[in-house]
Structure 1
Amino acid sequence: MALKHCAFAAFIVGAACSAQALDWQDNSIGYRYGTHFAEPFNNDIVAKNIVNFTHVSGYKYGSNFLNADFLFSNKKDPVDVGSNNGAQEAYVVYRHTLDLGKVYGKDFKVGPVRGFGVSGGFDWNTKRDAGYNSKKRMLVAGPTVMFDVPGYLNVSVLELWESNAPYNGFSATSTPRYHYKAHPMLETTWGIPFTVGSLPLSFEGYALFIASKGKDEFGVDTASETNVDAKLMYDASGIVGVRKNTFKVGAEYQYWMNKFGNNRNGAAGTGAFARTPMIRAEYHF
């Protein structure tokens, strides 16, 4: 419960930082497309168009990260039972990290570690589809280690408090909001710029290793989950005549085993294991 209160506190502090001058910020609008997405309890391969907005900023005591994905499936993941139109989803992630070195005015650098922090935030989603119609709500909180690399490399151990209140389109039944067992996640995020010859590149992404969250709302045991999303981006700003790091294009790959805690060896079937290549473009402002 103490960690849960930390999540609330970190969110409040992050919101309050808007009243302070930001030291830096980066906003971007992105688009990505892939044809090999997977959805639990659906054995079809799904194509998706995804539009996102991302905000990253830093201020006197820490940093903020906000990403909102808007996902549009093809008819293989239908919006309603019997429909030829695809499902629609919004997924929002917010993280706020307090840098303890900045808070206490001390240098905590040791070896490859630049500093230590405390992170908190939330995940929120809503999806309209023929089956599950997810309404996920999740709070997160825990310690973060920040490594001394070009760009950034952060590793966090977070406690998760997750709930959902799905609606089954096939049986037309609603499930009251169900709270899963609190469970840990190892979260790694990175953004490493580098060059190959004269090519300005960056290796970016995240890796999530999530423990089982106990039984789901239907009494079925959940599985531990692995979600790795990595992208190689090329800064094409010079080609289109805009300032550095404004326009990026690249390739992305997502490996997601036991998606949302659904066991790929159980009733969720092959849809619980996604291996998805994508193309991606971003405009930063």
Structure 2
Amino acid sequence: MSVLGLSAMTPALSADLGLEKAPVAPKEIPSSFFLFSDTQVSYRYVMDSREPGVPATKGDPLAGRSIPKNVINISHADAWAYGTNFFSLDILKSGNQDPSGFAFPRLSEQTGVGATEAYGLYRGTLSGNALTGSKAFAVPGFVKDISLSYGTDLNSKNTSFGSEKRLVVAGLNFALDVPAGFLNVSVHASKEFNRNGIVPLPARAVEFDFTPEIEIVYNIPLAFTGLPLSLAGFNNVVMPKGRDGFGAQTVTEFLSRTNLVLDIGKLVYDQPNKVDAFVGFQYWRNKFGNDMRRVAGSEEKTFLAGFAFHIL
């Protein structure tokens, strides 16, 4: 997993691959450096998530255990003369179906309460058109801009497994020329380091192979509805990245989320980009590269819902 949200950006920021849960328009700010900026706080409830290695207690164990999650997110997006930046921090609280725990003194020890995870993400771009002062990286009708794209993911989770993901990505971002909204495609080389707290020392540090990674982000306004609605989402593909911390070969991972977003501020009191509400659906195949045919809880199909407040 390398992407945990939807785009927080509008067509004006379409060269970026910022990812957040309730996509919005960044507000213009009086600044000699930043062209515009948006900071938001959001909450979402994930109804039926799964975790690899956590089997179902009833029915088919391979299907995995249903785990509700409450998620608080803080994110910031901005644009400057030559590119964009996006920062996101998720704090995820699982139900007790995904118990917290630790590797000492016993591997099996659990606290009886749900696990807590922090997941941070950064994505940045440098615009080819802006750097060259030309339209050399635009193909009318196909691509608006081609940018250098780079970023990192960091996480920590207080389970016995004790995930400590450290991911770096770098590559190209293609801002496709669409009639409304935006559609961005990034093609990256990625390298992940992680931790497996279940296996004995000193084998807990895990280094995965370099592998291709693709991120697709879109935000399409639904003007035909007569409402301030948009369809926003992302798709993320991570190719096999070598062997995991148990020695098993990883497989291609696919993550997709689509949100239907309603601008409540615009609808109720004619102040757009203040408060959003959203509902969505998430599909995760071979979660974290685990083979869903062999590892319980490696396929996730869940609805989610939430709201976002834009504070700056």
TM-score bracket, shorter-length normalisation? 0.7 to 0.9
Q: Which structure 1 segments of 5+ residues have no match? A: 1-18
State the one-letter code of the partner of 1:217.
G
Residue 33 of structure 1 pairs with residue 45 of structure 2: yes
TM-score for the superposition, normalised by structure 2: 0.80
CA distance in 2 between counterparts of 1:203 and 1:83 reads 40
Q: How many residues align?
A: 262
Tell me how far 1:239 sits from its aligned partner. Answer: 5.1
Alignment match of 1:114 (pick from 139, 144, 147): 144
Q: Could you give the per-residue CA deviations for residues 48-107 of structure 1, whole angstroms, max 9, x where no partner exists?
A: 000001111110001111111110001000012343210000111111011100110011
Residue 48 of structure 1 pairs with residue 76 of structure 2: no
Alignment match of 1:148 (pick from 177, 199, 203): 177
Question: CA, structure 1 residues 173+50, in 2 after alignment: closer, same or farther (shift >3 Å)?
Answer: farther
Question: CA, structure 1 residues 208+197, in 2 after alignment: closer, same or farther (shift >3 Å)?
Answer: closer
Matches within 5 A, 1:238-257: 238=266, 241=269, 243-257=271-285
Question: CA, structure 1 residues 183+237, in 2 after alignment: closer, same or farther (shift >3 Å)?
Answer: same
2:307 corresponds to: 281
CA distance in 1 between counterparts of 2:255 and 2:82 reads 29
CA distance in 2 between counterparts of 1:230 and 1:215 reads 30
Tell me how far 1:191 sits from its aligned partner. Answer: 1.9
CA distance in 1 between counterparts of 2:271 and 2:124 reads 28
CA distance in 1 between counterparts of 2:219 and 2:266 reads 20
Matches within 5 A, 1:197-276: 197-238=225-266, 241=269, 243-266=271-294, 268-269=295-296, 271-276=297-302
Alignment match of 1:77 (pick from 84, 98, 103): 98
State the one-letter code of the partner of 1:145.
F
Equivalent residue of 1:199, what SS?
Answer: coil
Tell me how far 1:260 sits from its aligned partner. Answer: 0.4
Alignment match of 2:210 (pick from 173, 178, 182): 182
Question: CA, structure 1 residues 127+244, in 2 after alignment: closer, same or farther (shift >3 Å)?
Answer: same
Contact (CA 8 Å) 1:29, 1:52: kept in 2 or not? yes
Higher share of residues assigned helix: 1
Answer with 143-152 or 62-71: which moved more: 143-152
Alignment match of 2:34 (pick from 16, 22, 27): 22
Tell me how far 1:284 sits from its aligned partner. Answer: 1.3
Q: Which structure 2 segments of 5+ residues have no match? A: 1-30, 56-64, 102-108
TM-score for the superposition, normalised by structure 1: 0.87
Higher share of residues assigned strand: 1
State the one-letter code of the partner of 1:166.
N
**What RMSD over aligned residues (CA atoms) do the two structures have, in Å?**
1.8
State the one-letter code of the partner of 1:209.
V
Q: Answer 1 or 2: higher relative contact order, Cα 8 Å, separation at least 6.
A: 2
Contact (CA 8 Å) 1:258, 1:273: kept in 2 or not? yes
CA distance in 2 between counterparts of 1:140 and 1:225 reads 16
Contact (CA 8 Å) 1:20, 1:59: kept in 2 or not? no
CA distance in 2 between counterparts of 1:230 and 1:98 reads 27
